[in-house]
Amino acid sequence: MTHVIITGGSSGIGLALARIYAERGARLSLLARSLPALEAARLELARRHGETSVHIESADASDEDQALAAIRKCEAAFGPCDILITSAGIVEPGRFETQTSAAFRQQIETNLFGSVNAVRAVYAAMKERRSGKIMLVSSGAGLIGIYGYAAYCASKFALHGFADALRSEAKPHGVTISVCFPPDTETPQFARELEHRPLEATVIMGRVAPWPSSAVALRIVRAIDKGQFEVFFGWTLWALGRFGATVKPALNWWFDRGIRRMIPRR
Ligand SMILES: NC(=O)c1ccc[n+]([C@@H]2O[C@H](COP(=O)([O-])OP(=O)(O)OC[C@H]3O[C@@H](n4cnc5c(N)ncnc54)[C@H](OP(=O)(O)O)[C@@H]3O)[C@@H](O)[C@H]2O)c1
């Protein structure tokens, strides 16, 4: 039976992914910090899918020792990890000069190192077995810089670079690395983020409706099935991902124009 480990599996996109794999009869390990949220997720999955095998581990993914120990326990319960999805992530919008160094660092530690730590916990064994799939959850904000999202963008761009390099190391050894760039998605994180999103970001991003987390999760799972490296959502993010160097200057010009109109000249 396939063992799927999902960091951030207690909420949002991670939980939507867990629902799909539970439906498929996979063994599921969910990792997040809040134990009550993990227990609620396990209960929900058991209620919806009957005798689902769900293991939960409370750990901070950004802490290497905690992440390694938690994933060891998941593997002790359900065997080697076949699929790892790193969905654990946080976002705290705010203009660079107003954001504390601690808030900036926490986003990098969680979004980048939280993923790296989880990958480190499973990668060597996958390589040895010559099988395994890893999906890193980046963001549309990992394809273009967004006003008020310097820390988040830095963490999500970095994930893309990590995935790109690791892909070429892993491929000869039968391990598939993928990275996805979700758009705005209806999740608890998105609801919290909107309360703090600077007006400039709202203006440049327009009023595009967020995707349901179930649709994002389904696209991610299909990409994992196919071993697709990069996963885009919607034509704008696809164009940015495929033709970023060409598309970005025009988009940045458009964004800058919108922002200039909001900021009175001094
Ligand atoms: N929603 C969007 O619009 C959107 C768009 C693009 C990309 N994304 C990315 O998609 C991923 C999932 O986001 P979401 O919207 O589904 O958020 P969410 O509903 O807030 O879920 C985030 C999950 O990550 C866990 N988590 C956060 N920090 C953690 C840590 N240090 N260690 C372990 N677990 C941690 C949370 O549980 P605990 O808090 O209990 O730890 C929760 O299970 C994130 O990487 C996010 O950046 C989201």
Query: What are the DSSP calls for 129-198, one per residue?
Result: HT-EEEEEE--GGGTS--TT-HHHHHHHHHHHHHHHHHHHHHGGGTEEEEEE---SEESHHHHHHHHH--
Type of residue found at 100: T
Distance of CA 31 to the CA centre of its chain: 13
3-state secondary structure of 8: coil
Ligand 1 center to residue 190 CA distance, Å?
9
Q: Looking at 21, 152, 155, 213, which residue is catalytic?
A: 152
- Which ligand 1 atom lies nearest to the CA of residue 62? 31
14/87 Cα distance (integer angstroms) = 6
Residues flanking ligand 1, CB < 6 Å? 7-8, 10-14, 32-34, 37, 60-62, 87-91, 110-111, 114, 137, 139, 182, 184-185, 187-190
Q: How does pLDDT run along the chain (266 residues), one tens digit per residue?
A: 999 999 999 999 999 999 999 999 999 999 999 999 999 999 999 887 776 699 999 999 999 999 999 999 999 999 999 999 999 999 999 999 999 999 999 999 999 999 999 999 999 999 999 999 999 999 999 999 999 999 999 999 999 999 999 999 999 999 999 999 999 999 999 999 888 888 888 877 777 789 999 999 999 999 999 999 999 999 989 999 999 889 888 888 888 888 887 766 54
> Is 138 known to be catalytic?
yes
Count of CB atoms situated within 10 Å of the CB of 89: 25
pTM summary value: 0.96
Indicate the helix (H) or strand (E) that contains 220.
helix 213-226
Residue 38: CATH number of its domain: 3.40.50.720
Q: Looking at 21, 133, 149, 156, which residue is catalytic?
A: 156
Ligand 1 center to residue 30 CA distance, Å?
12
- Which ligand 1 atom lies nearest to the CA of residue 152? 47
Range of the domain at 178: 3-262
What are 77's two structure tokens?
């319960």
Query: Which residue's structure tokens are 């040895």?
Result: 128
242/230 Cα distance (integer angstroms) = 10
Q: How many domains does the chain have?
A: 1
Ligand 1 center to residue 172 CA distance, Å?
31
